[in-house]
Structure 1
Amino acid sequence: MGKHWDAVATAINTRLAELDLTQRELAERSGVSTATLRQLQNNYEPRRRSPRTLAAISEGLRWPADHLAQVLEGEVSREDTGTLRSDVARLSHELTDARTEIDDLRAEVRQLGTKLSDIEARDAR
């Protein structure tokens, strides 16, 4: 089966827009040069790339390391990407809720600690 460099280009460009990242920011995150990113984003001179390069870009885009390699091989469809996107959105909301609950619990623990200190101070008199 042929390589799907056009799908890799689309995936990178779409994800950059979703994350509101620039090419330079992705280069910094991934350690991949802007020249290489530009070639991949524009599907210019498609050729074999190091698996490490695709993994670094994937991780820089907050995907699993093998995501772009799977896109390249045609193993990730647009439908899969949409499903992944909705899963990420759901998990993001759940994480926000969990953080709120943790913050509330921390506040309660602080209040209990203060009350305990007050009781211990009163009993020590």
Structure 2
Amino acid sequence: MTNNVPVHTARGPRPNEDWTAVADTVNARMAQQRIGQKALADTSGVSVATLRRIQHGAHGRRVQNTTLTAIARALDWPDDHLIRVLQAGGTPTSVGQPTEREILAGIDRIEQRLDDVCRRLAAVEELVTTQAANR
């Protein structure tokens, strides 16, 4: 067990797992973040086929926890978020409310974007200064 979450394999769905809740949760977050299937697949390292299966309720075959963890990370959730949704039928405490980790991840993304904007602005300023000096 890791983080009090039982380790599962791809043997098949278990009776108390709510894959529909996982599908609904993933689809809602993708819509909220305006991220497409291909982009999420690329970010998470999960194949489009596996992601599609999850988005449709993972019928027939259980998806491994590592896959759910990768998707959760790519959607800026705690690692075990989708596992908790799977086990709780869509009622983990963080659904609908950002966790501290999500807030910090958002702040980190903002800081990274701000750093990028600052670098670009500095490059533009240097270019303008160089062009003005050459006139």
| TM-score, with structure 2 as normaliser | 0.59
Q: Which residue is 2:53 aligned to?
A: 39
Give deviations 1:27-63, integer Å, cap 9, x for gaps: 0000000000111101142432211100000001111
The match for 1:69 among 83, 108, 116 is 83
Superposed CA RMSD in Å reads: 3.1
Give deviations 1:41-88, integer Å, cap 9, x for gaps: 011424322111000000011111111001000175177412237x95
Q: Looking at secondary structure, tell me which structure has more helix per residue.
A: 1
Provide structure 1 residue ranges, at least 5 long, that are not aligned to the other structure.
100-125
Opposite residue 8 of structure 1, the aligned amino acid is V
Partner of 2:63, secondary structure, is: coil
Conserved in 1, the CA contact under 8 Å of 2:84 and 2:92?
A: no
Q: Which residue is 1:84 aligned to?
A: 98
Q: Which residue is 2:12 aligned to?
A: none
Aligned ranges for residues 83-122 of structure 1 at < 5 Å? Answer: 83-84=97-98, 95=107
Opposite residue 67 of structure 2, the aligned amino acid is T
Conserved in 1, the CA contact under 8 Å of 2:68 and 2:82?
A: yes
Q: Which residue is 2:40 aligned to?
A: 26
Conserved in 2, the CA contact under 8 Å of 1:4 and 1:73?
A: yes
Extract structure 1 runs of 4+ deviating beyond 2 A. none
Conserved in 2, the CA contact under 8 Å of 1:40 and 1:46?
A: no
- Looking at structure 1, the residues matched to 90 and 67 of structure 2 have their Cα atoms a distance apart, in angstroms, of 18
> What percentage of aligned pairs have identical amino acids?
37
Structure of greater Rg? 1
Find out whether 1:17 has 2:31 as its counterpart: yes
Change (3 A) 1:65 1:44: closer
> How many equivalent pairs are there?
97
Provide structure 2 residue ranges, at least 5 long, that are not aligned to the other structure.
1-14, 112-135
- Looking at structure 2, the residues matched to 65 and 44 of structure 1 have their Cα atoms a distance apart, in angstroms, of 19
Change (3 A) 1:75 1:8: closer
